[in-house]
Amino acid sequence: MDRKETGRGSLSAYARVPLIIGWREPVGLRDTYGGVDGVVALQAQHLKPETASDTIVVFMHPMGIMHYLPLPGALATAGVHVLSAVSRYPNNDSALIMEKVAIDLGRWINHCRTKLGYSKVVLGGWSGGGSLALFYQAEAEDPRVTATPAGDPPSLVDAKLPPADGVMLLAAHVSRAHTLTEWMDPSVNDEADPTRRDPAWNLYDPACAQPPYSADFLAEFRARQLARNRRITAWAQDTLKTLVAREGPHAERAFVVHGTMADPRWLDPAVDANDRTPGRCYLGDPRLINDSPGGLGRFTTLRSWLSQWSHDLSHADGIACGPRITVPVLVIGNSADDACTPSHTQRLYDCVAQVDRELHVVQGATHYYAFQPDKLAEATGVVTGWLEARGFPTSHPGEGRDP
């Protein structure tokens, strides 16, 4: 049992209960290493306060494990029932298929309702989980995706995903594909030889324009980033078509994408301005991360590129999916966030204009609220207040429910 001070003068206790669910799927292309062929097994942690509730907040990131991030635990301390769920791609997105992640999230929502006994489920879309939440909810309410961008299963129309009752977009970006595009290094001239770069468009080369960047430079830089994403997409499509024709329907290839952490925002604080520290990104020094193994989208496959990284083909585009949902939405931005910057927060808010929506910015907060207890407390208060106001009470009198 985890016990923490709530900040309201009383103690709140919650249990951290590990959960596992699994099922069998038709055996096709293996996109993860290990495990029994055809069996999908997922893990989660159920953060269960002592006071019962009919509502649970489900956090899930396409590949991240969120069990020990500050916000889920802070919400549980405040009496909110939380499920920190994990997809079939824990901490490894090299072969991730967004349509399969949606299937996984649907399984967890169904588990919350049928096994854990919650009648109301609210999606906690943190960071990359924000666009996942919009993609999922759009396909649950108005299913349209019949195959992945590569033409493979699953069909989300056939999946009959159970819709959630509310969506929270918390320190979130608009999509993995759009974010990677905004971070790509447009100076890369040859995908097979990352040393061949145009210094005029290499942010980290002294020959490149220096901050503050002009509007013309930024417009051309963004156009070149988009063009690079589209070149890789066209190559992936052509290569996959050739491989499948030669080797059969499950043919695949892995590849490396160099230079994926070169966003002018990180060097010029006037670009998409907020309170972030110039010269840094959420992974550290962007000059080093640009080509390091830990950079965004570094290792991928043909099918995964098309599903999660292609600007034009990925179905998991939060901005395109947002207008299709009907449930209430909370959007929280952090004013010192160096990953999900104000333009992403605003675009998310704007794309759900048709629903009951609320926007809140936590001033001075970084992406994770790391070592910022006051900012974490503010975000927690905004979430709990929104849940209560929208008919998702965090607790009701009675016995705690069984795990």
Domains of the chain: 2-175+315-389 (3.40.50.1820), 179-309 (no CATH)
Cα–Cα distance measured from residue 398 to residue 42, given in angstroms and rounded to the nearest whole number = 30
pLDDT score at 40:
95
- Kindly state the tokens that stand for 158: 């056939």
The CA distance from 192 to 190, in Å, is 5
CA angle, 105 then 300 then 174, to 5°: 50
CA distances from residue 236 to 32, 47, 169, 196 in whole angstroms, order as listed: 20, 41, 31, 20
Are the CB atoms for 238 and 230 separated by under 8 Å? no
For residues 361 and 171, give the distance between their C-alpha atoms in angstroms, rounded to a whole number: 9
Report pLDDT for 3. Answer: 45
Tell me the whole-structure pTM to 2 decimals: 0.94
Going residue by residue through the chain (403 aa), what tens digit of pLDDT does each one get?
444 433 333 446 899 999 999 999 988 888 888 888 889 999 999 999 999 999 999 999 999 999 999 999 999 999 999 999 999 999 999 999 999 999 999 999 999 999 999 999 999 999 999 999 999 999 999 999 999 999 999 999 999 999 999 999 999 999 999 999 999 999 999 999 999 999 999 999 999 999 999 999 999 999 999 999 999 999 999 999 999 999 999 999 999 999 999 999 999 999 999 999 999 998 999 999 999 999 999 999 999 999 999 999 999 999 999 999 999 999 999 999 999 999 999 999 999 999 999 999 999 999 999 999 999 999 999 999 999 999 998 765 444 444 3
Q: Which residues pair with 23 in a beta bridge?
A: 40
Residue entry with tokens 């100076």: 187
Strand ranges in 205-282 using DSSP code E only, listed in sequence order = 254-256
CA dist 98 and 274 (Å) reads: 30
Report helix angle 176-183 to 215-247, nearest 10.
Answer: 120
Hey, what are 298's tokens? 């570094």
In whole angstroms, how far apart are CA 89 and each of 43, 103, 104, 300?
11, 12, 10, 13
Asked if 335 contacts 361 with a C-beta cutoff of 8 angstroms, the reply is yes
Locate 172 and state its tokens: 């979130």
